[in-house]
Amino acid sequence: MTAARVDIVDDTYLRVAPAVVRGWFDDEERLMRLWPHLQRTLVRDRGVKGLRWTVDGAVVGEMEVWIEPWWDGVILHHYVRGTRGRGAPADVARRHQLRWKRAVHALKDRLEEATL
């Protein structure tokens, strides 16, 4: 029996400077609350361009946030590639996506409101 693949791709536009978005990912406690189902190991810090981790836990593989400058803001790309971890729920990808969308939309609302 092979492990179920997890492939998540998400893109969200934020009308905020890249450095501001990148700074949001510097709060380790926030990231632990966002992804409590994953143990992350930083593989590459690309500065204002984003971060890449290996992950273990509910998903075994890799995860990335890529901050792409776009017009007067950024497109925040989020990728997860791997397999469902041992004991993870069958809908782990869906749960991860919903958790991410709630967090990124809250970030978007807070940061964009601050620029109005």
Tokens of 85: 């971890």
Q: What is the CA radius of gyration of the chain?
A: 14
94: part of which helix (H) or strand (E)? Answer: helix 92-114
Whose tokens are 């905020």? That residue is 16
Fold of 5-114: Alpha-D-Glucose-1,6-Bisphosphate; Chain A, domain 4 (3.30.530)
Neighbours of 103 (CB within 10 A): 17
The confidence score (pLDDT) of residue 114 equals 76
The 10s digit of each residue's pLDDT in 37-96 is: 999 999 999 999 999 999 999 999 999 999 999 999 999 999 999 999 999 999 999 999
In contact, 43 and 101? CB cutoff 8 Å? no
Of 13, 7, 9, 15, nearest to 114 by C-alpha is 15
The pTM assigned to this predicted structure is: 0.93
Q: Would the pLDDT of 35 be above 70?
A: yes
Tokens of 39: 């143990």
